[in-house]
Each structure stands twice: as structure tokens, then as C-alpha cells.
Amino acid sequence: MSDPVTPPGTHTPLLVLGKIAKILNAFTLHRPSLTLRDLQQATGIPASTVQRLVTNLVADGFLDRTDDRFRIGVKMACWAATAAKDLDVLDVVNPVLKDLRDLTGETACFFRAEGPHRVCIAVAETRHALRREMSVGRIAPVTVGASGRVLLAWDPHLADQALAHELPQLTDSTVTDRDELRKLIKQTAADGYAITVGERVDSASGLAAPVFDAAADLVGSVTVQGPTLRMPYDQCVEWVGLVVEHAERITRALGGRFPH
């Protein structure tokens, strides 16, 4: 007897959905526009199948096309906004921070700008005995550290306000020259992440990436931080992809998109 809920012949559509998911997942915040060749290489799906599926995805509004390039359709943003309505940011952030903590072994935090400060609104603490203490509600100057660098890089108004005042110095490595900080902010925006060593606390490192909402406005920064003994600069560089990926995961869950 056939399953009354799952009618016969549903296996093929499910396989098709799997291929469609691969195509949609090929688009990232850093590669929002792809050609058919890019999609074929990213998914491993035969070129003829990719072309057929993409044609249908464009027709139904899942993808938009400009010349020979494709991107996630604007119609998808409407659906994402519905999904994100009344969604508590922390419900999305906390599980991602725990995953990031477990993968790196270091404390993972989420920071938001509050005036001239950055405040920790979520944290998954490292299980190491040697740690740089962090807790929800902890504040620091927004001009200091990796998370602050990210908050400034994608909020020009906040950056202008912060750079209009004397920059506080917390350690010998804190950047206090405004012109230098402007260059570092610009570099952060170009890179898509920030790494700092010893700027907020001596012998502590941080690596941060941005999170955006459906309007492409900055929500906050995902940060991994820990003793430089375990997080030297080279280790931070190795974790860049991991941190950016988890920040993108939050952005997608919020129905967000990367600004252009």
C-alpha cells in the first residue's frame, strides 16, 4: 500500500530539489553573482542540467539575470523577510557561536555598537582554563579590537563620530592615530574581516566578521578571541574562512544580504 502522505513518484522531485539547493547554496555574500560555468564548477552538476534548472529558477523569480551572470532573486528577499519577522536575533546567534567555539576551541562572541562603545550581547566561552574573560554586557571602545574594526568598517556614520574624538589607548598596541585607523577601517571593508593582536588587552587576539540584515544594514560582528599564545596572527588567518562562514550563516538566517 502506498504512503497516503507521500505519494508515489516523489523521489525524482526530491533529487531535483537537492540540485536546486546546491545551485542556490553556490551563491555567497562574497560571490553574489555567478555565471553558468561558475555554477557548474561549484555544484558539480552537468552543464546541461545546470542550464535547465537555472532557466526555470529565473522564470520563477528564485534567481535574477543580468547579461550572463545570475544572482539570488529579489523575490527571495520578500520570502526571507517573512521568515525573519519577529525572529529573535539571539535565537539565531547563540547556536552559531557555540558551533564556532567548539570548532576553534576559543571564546566566540557577538558585538553590537552602542554609541562610542561596542557591547557583547552573546557569548560562548572557551573551555580552556587560560582565557580572556568575556561576558554579556561587557563594553569596550568601538575603536579598539577586531570587532570594533568591523563595526566601524560597515557604519560610516559611526566611524566619522568615533574619529572625530581622541582615540583611547588601552595597550601599547592600541591604534591611536586617526589616519592609521582610517586606513585600517578601509582595509577591513575591503577584506571582509578584521584581525587584531594586543589592541584591547595585551597578549590577546581577535578575529571578527560582519553580520547584515535584509536591508544590508550592519547588525553586529561575530568575533573569536583568545590568548595570543593560542591565537597568533597566523592562526587567526587560518580561521578567517571559518569565522566569515559563520557570520554569513547568521546573515542568511536573518534574511540578510551583503551590501554592494
Regions in the chain scoring below 70 on pLDDT: 1-13, 29-30, 77-87
Report pLDDT digits (tens) over 40-79: 999 999 999 999 999 999 998 889 999 999 998 877 766 6
Same domain, 20 and 126: no
List Cβ neighbours of 133 (8 Å cut-off, separation of 6 or more). none
Same domain, 58 and 173: no
Q: What is the pLDDT of residue 133?
A: 72
Out of 50, 72, 94, a domain closes at: 72
Q: What is the pLDDT of residue 80?
A: 59
Q: Which domain holds residue 40?
A: 11-72
d(CA 202, CA 198): 5
Dihedral angle sign, alpha carbons of residues 121, 126, 127, 131? negative
Q: What is the pLDDT of residue 122?
A: 93
Same domain, 99 and 53: no
Q: What is the pLDDT of residue 86?
A: 46
Whether 236 and 225 have beta carbons less than 8 Å apart is answered as no
d(CA 126, CA 181): 29
Same domain, 29 and 145: no
Q: What average pLDDT is seen over the chain?
A: 87
With residue 44 as reference, give the H or E element that holds it.
none
Q: What is the pLDDT of residue 2?
A: 43
Whether 170 and 197 have beta carbons less than 8 Å apart is answered as no
Same domain, 129 and 40: no
Q: Name the pTM for this structure.
A: 0.69
Per the domain annotation, does 56 fall within a domain? Answer: yes
Domain count, the chain: 2
